[in-house]
Amino acid sequence: MRTQRFPLPPPLMTSEPGSFARKTIVERKPQILREVSQAHPYPPEIQSALRAFADEIASEPVRPLREDAGDAALWNGVWSQYEGRTWLDIPWYFAETFFYRRLIEIVDFYRPGPWQGVDPFAPQKVAEMDRALPTLLTILEQGFATPEETFMSMIRDALWGNRADLSNRTISARADEGLSDQGQGRLLIDDRPRIWAHLVRERTARVDVITDNSGLELALDLRLIDFLVQTGVAQVRIHLKRMPFFVSDARMDDLEHTLDRLAGSAPPAAALAERLRQAIEDGRIALHDDPFWSTCLTYRQMPLAVQQELSASSLVLLKGDVNYRRLLDDRHWPHTARLAEIASSFPAPFVALRTLKGELIVDLQPGQAEALSVRDPTWMINGQRGLIQFVDGAGGHG
C-alpha cells in the first residue's frame, strides 16, 4: 500500500450554501422518508419514528444509533466526531451513509420480528426493473462483429446505465438516453482502448465488479460480466451491498430478482440468465457482500481484509458516483488533480465507471471545467456526462 505524500483538501460539507450536498439533505432525504413510509404498512411506532427522523434532519442534532447491532460501534465512533452538530453541518458522505443506516434501524431491518430483513426500498426496485426490462430486451438483440467491439459497447452501456439511480429521480428518469445515442461528446474521459488492452494481456485473470444500482444498471453490468466469463476471464467477483443503501444499490436479493426476471422474459434475456446462473454454480462468477461496501468509510480507510481480497484482482470495475466519491475521499480536489496519485493506495488496477451526479471530478485538462460550466452550469450533477477512467496501478492514466 502506497501512502499519500500531499495534504488532503477539505471534505464536501452539507453546510456549503447552494451546494448539491446541502440540497440532498434538505430536499431528497425527507422525500425518501415519505416514500418509504408510503411503500410499506409499517405499524404506528415505525411511522412515528420516520416522521421524527424527518424533523431531526430539518433542524436537530444528529443522533447516534440506539440498537445493539454488530456495526453500531463503527458508526457511532464516527458519529462521535460530529456530536452536537446538525445534519447541515457535517461531511456529506457521512451524512448520506449515516442517513441510510439510521433509516434501517428505524424500520427494524436487523431486529427480530415481522420487519426483519425487509428492504424498505424493495417496491421501488421492483418497479424500476419493470420499467427497465423493455429497454434491456432491445439492447440484448444487438449483435457485434468482434470481441473488442462487443466490449467497447457493453462497458459504455454499463456506464450510462448508472443513470438509473433511485436516489436521484431527475437523472433516473433519463436513464436510457446514453444507450440510444452512445453518449457521443459526453464522455469526458474514455479509457476503453487501454482497458481492453489490459484485459487482453490478462486474459485468464480475475475481474472484480463493485456494483452500484439494481434494475437497469445491474442488468447491464451482468451483460458485461457474462461477456467477460464467456470470453475467457477465469473468474468475476461481484461485490454487492449487505444492507439497503442509497435506495437502489444492489444487494444479493436484488441480483436474484434480476436473474428471475431475465429468466422469465424473452429468449435472449432467458439465455443470459441461464448462462449467469451456470457460471455462479461452477464458480466462474462469485458473489460477495462484505459489510465495508455499505459503510461511511472511504477507500483510504479500506480494511486490511478487503485490501488483501482486491489485491488478487487483475482489474476492479468501480461503478457509480458513490464509489468515485470514496476514491476521492469526498474532498474538494482541484479538477486537474490526478486520480492515480489520489487513489494510489488502491490495491489493484481499477476502472471508475461513473455518470456525474456530484460536485467533484479530477483528471481534467486546465480550463476544461471552466468551459463546461459556461456551457452547462449543472454539468457536475445532472448525469449528462460520464467517464470511463482507468488507473493501471503504476500511477498511469491518460
Q: Mean per-residue pLDDT for 222-243?
A: 96
317 forms beta bridges with 209, 351
Tell me the residue type at 330. D
Cα 313 to Cα 328: distance, rounded to the nearest angstrom? 21
Q: Mean per-residue pLDDT for 120-145?
A: 93
pLDDT of residue 353: 97
State the burial class of residue 304 (Cβ atoms within 10 Å of its Cβ: 0-12, 13-18, 19+): exposed
144 has a pLDDT exceeding 50: yes
Contacts with 8 (C-beta within 8 Å, 6 or more apart), sequence order: 329, 331
pLDDT of residue 184: 59
Q: Is the pTM of this model over 0.75?
A: yes
pLDDT-based confidence at 163, cuts 50/70/90? confident
For the chain, which domains are there?
20-106 (1.20.930.60), 122-391 (3.40.50.10880)
21 has a pLDDT exceeding 60: yes
pLDDT-based confidence at 170, cuts 50/70/90? very low
List pLDDT tens digits, range 72-92: 999 999 999 999 999 999 999
67 has a pLDDT exceeding 60: yes
231 has a pLDDT exceeding 70: yes
The DSSP annotation for 151-215 comes to HHHHHHHHHHGGG--TTSHHHHTTTTHHHHHTTTTTEEEE-HHHHHHHHHHTTTSEEEEE--BST
174 has a pLDDT exceeding 70: no
